[in-house]
Amino acid sequence: MPSSPAPSSPVGRRATARAVLVRLERLLDRVPPLDPTRDGLQLVLAGFVGLLTGVVAWALITGVHLVTDLAFSDPVPRWQLVVVPTVGGLLVGLLVARLVPEVAGGGVVTTMEAMAIHRGRIRRRVPTFGVLATSIALGTGASGGREGPIVLFGGAVGSGIAALGRMDEDRTRALVAAGVAAGIAASFNAPIGGMLFAIELLLGGIRRSGALQTIVVAAVVSSVTARQLVGPGLPLFAPATAARLASPTELVVYAVLGLLALLVAAGFRHGEDLAGRLFGDVRRRVGVPLTVALGGFVVGLTALAVPEVLGEGADLPAVAGASREPIRAMLDGLLGTGWPAALTLLILLVAKLFASVVAIGSGSAVGTLAPSLFTGAALGGALGAVAVEVLDVPNATGFALVGMAAVFAAVVRAPLTAIILVFELTGDYDLVLPLMLAVGIASFGADRLRWRSIYVEGLRRRGVTLDRPEDVDVLQRVTVGEVMTRADAPDVTLPADVPVDVLRARFLQGSLHGAVLVSADGTLAGVVARSDLDRDAASRPAATAQDIATRRPATAVPDEPVFRAVQRMANLDVGRLPVVDTATGRVVGVFRRADVVRAYDRGIERTVADRLSGEAGRLRDVTGLEAVRLVVAAGSQVADARVREVAWPERTILTGVQRGSEAIVPAGDTRLAADDVVVALTGDPDALRGLLRRPAGPPAAAPEDGT
């Protein structure tokens, strides 16, 4: 037998760590579950989500400053502008490839994906290693923002607390949304903006915000926590100069600004799509670390000409001739007025847009939020610089602020968040009319162009299509466990080590269209589709099915309503979901498209039955009779008889008949059939039950002694 690895060896250390984690999970399993039905408990957990997310935000802000101080000299020599982002990209790429792939591209898309197809579950390691990755990325000059990653980290905090509290899916989603709101609130010191961001982006609108109280509590606690840890200077972009609407004629310029914001939004949409495809090809050839390093190298080359593209636009390294706080400089009008200042601002806009889509497309741990604010401020500042000269406007601050909101609304498609966020950043409500006008025009234009949020587009590129069906009552009445195909049925699951050649033969024979792979202990190992086999044939052939499988597929659980699983399948455009037991982690079945039909039929039957029972209940209230639902037995004297031919017990009123999914209002000529469900009001339920079961033919004569 092979010898066990030495405890001091890397393999031995990994085995020891794995054993410790297994024991810890077993101890956690012994903790009695909290009662998730108490709303008070939900609010308490929301408070913990806000507190921990505030701490995570402080750790991220501190980490970015620390890495910046370590990575760049003061002043910064030109060679560091290229070398530092490249090396930083390599380090971030290693973290993304090996520990936290979720944080690539910012994390908002990953959070939405978790809400859409993973029941709100995000791995617990994400906040720890994600903070490290984003700190290195922004600290070494990657062009992007921390707000996207902090959304993911807050969502992961909410998911982890929900898992510890054994929360159901709906409450888990609420806590994830609370973590998202807490992340935005802590990053901007904007609790209302964070709340609206979670509602507009993750929950699809206020009409779906049943978790509103949870979100509000988390956002407030997180904002207060971050303010105490970071200090009163937390707002990133509050201008020193007050913004005012000096004349109603300025509203025309603000309207033009709303239209121009669509051009910047188009740049982000098409730029991220193009960069994602280009760097995707590079990633397949050289791997994730070198791809992110290449993105850092391109950003560094851009910074040689425009150093302001580094980082998120606030507290940049000390580069000669460049502003350390370019967004604040734009808001305060420090870049001048007139056409020269407008040209400078437009150069900043284009350079920042280019550098940001490169960093995000290469897979660095940065997000789109801060770049949208930067480019919006540059756009508004450029237009304002001209307006100061032409229209005698007092300053360009108002245009820069409104430009931030307009571009944000057009890119993210969250207009309420954009308006309120600027209010909270500035504390100045005098710009309410220009804000509403520009954001409204930008949002209207995006609607006319049928643009969705840039994050929804990111989901689409991952193969996830958001679908929020409204009419799901029927499929809410059936659980996945009731209609799933059980794991012990033929051709439902396959061993993870099945050879690829055998799997390919099964696919070609037509007996399989997809396969759920299980390990030797019955746990989920992955899912294989025909497209996986096609990719394998085009590249280096793999040995076993697990080598080409999707390792972390979307799953379902037996006790969740079918509509959740159907929504998940529609989002991913897949035909099956493994059903995993939450207690053991074992695959207990597969939910397939054919099972959806059975679920729909069963849901219809239950809906009809409830309708008939409701009608019977109303009659019972009037008559005082008992409502019953009984099945006509096969071979009974009632089967195949007309209603008027049956000797019904005294004080019995037949109110309905259910035949499959059909509801029948009985009449005298209605012919009953075996397996019909009879809904009736009766004063003698036992007699009616016996009648529906009594075999056809004359009843047996009673013995003379009466026994």
Whether 562 maps to a domain, the answer reads no
Q: Is the pLDDT of residue 86 over 70?
A: yes
**Backbone Cα Rg of the chain:** 31
Q: Is the pLDDT of residue 700 over 50?
A: no
Structure confidence at residue 22 (pLDDT): 54
Whether 641 maps to a domain, the answer reads yes
Task: Say whether both 49 and 159 belong to one domain.
Answer: yes
**pLDDT tens digits, residue range 430-484?**
778 888 999 999 999 998 888 888 888 887 777 666 655 444 455 666 788 888 8
> d(Cα 271, Cα 264) in Å, to the nearest integer?
10
Task: Say whether both 59 and 202 belong to one domain.
Answer: yes
**pLDDT tens digits, residue range 378-392?**
999 999 888 888 887
Task: Say whether both 454 and 325 belong to one domain.
Answer: yes
**Range with the lowest mean pLDDT among 158-172, 225-239, 638-652?**
225-239
The CATH number of whichever domain residue 654 belongs to comes to 3.30.70.1450
Q: Is the pLDDT of residue 7 over 50?
A: no
Residue 289: pLDDT band with limits 50, 70, 90: very high
Structure confidence at residue 28 (pLDDT): 47
Task: Say whether both 173 and 184 belong to one domain.
Answer: yes
Whether 607 maps to a domain, the answer reads no
CA dihedral sign, ordered 234, 235, 236, 240: negative
Q: Is the pLDDT of residue 511 over 70?
A: no
Cβ-contact 366, 360 below 8 angstroms: yes
Q: Is the pLDDT of residue 26 over 50?
A: yes
70: number of Cβ within 10 Å: 10
Whether 471 maps to a domain, the answer reads no
The gap between the terminal CA atoms of the chain, to the nearest Å, is 75
Structure confidence at residue 261 (pLDDT): 95
> 678 or 703: whose pLDDT is higher?
678
Task: Say whether both 23 and 154 belong to one domain.
Answer: no
Structure confidence at residue 121 (pLDDT): 85
Cβ-contact 358, 398 below 8 angstroms: no
Whether 658 maps to a domain, the answer reads yes
Task: Say whether both 193 and 327 belong to one domain.
Answer: no
Cβ-contact 193, 417 below 8 angstroms: yes
Cβ-contact 478, 561 below 8 angstroms: yes
In DSSP terms, which residues pair with 642 in a beta bridge? 671
Provide the number of structural domains found in the chain. Answer: 5
Task: Say whether both 510 and 386 belong to one domain.
Answer: no
Task: Say whether both 457 and 316 belong to one domain.
Answer: yes
Q: What percent of the chain has pLDDT over 90?
A: 23
Structure confidence at residue 403 (pLDDT): 93
Cβ-contact 222, 186 below 8 angstroms: yes
Task: Say whether both 276 and 409 belong to one domain.
Answer: yes
Task: Say whether both 492 and 532 belong to one domain.
Answer: yes
Q: Mean pLDDT score of the chain, rounded to an integer?
A: 80
Task: Say whether both 294 and 328 belong to one domain.
Answer: yes
Q: Is the pLDDT of residue 119 over 80?
A: no
Q: What is the DSSP string of 88-118?
A: HHHHHHHHHHHT-GGGTT-SHHHHHHHHHHS
Q: Is the pLDDT of residue 325 over 80?
A: yes
Cβ-contact 145, 368 below 8 angstroms: yes
User: Which amino acid is present at 357?
Assistant: V
**Range with the lowest mean pLDDT among 19-33, 101-115, 160-174?**
19-33
**pLDDT tens digits, residue range 641-693?**
888 888 888 878 787 787 776 777 788 888 888 888 887 778 788 888 888 88
Confidence (pTM): 0.70
Whether 237 maps to a domain, the answer reads no
Whether 442 maps to a domain, the answer reads yes
Average pLDDT over residues 54-81: 91
Structure confidence at residue 493 (pLDDT): 82
> 509 or 216: whose pLDDT is higher?
216
Q: 644-649 — which CB contacts under 8 Å span 24+ positions?
A: 644/668, 644/669, 646/672, 646/691, 647/691, 648/688, 648/691, 649/682, 649/683, 649/684, 649/687, 649/688, 649/691
The CATH number of whichever domain residue 499 belongs to comes to 3.10.580.10
Whether 613 maps to a domain, the answer reads no
The CATH number of whichever domain residue 296 belongs to comes to 1.10.3080.10
Domain that holds residue 99: 31-230
Task: Say whether both 9 and 45 belong to one domain.
Answer: no
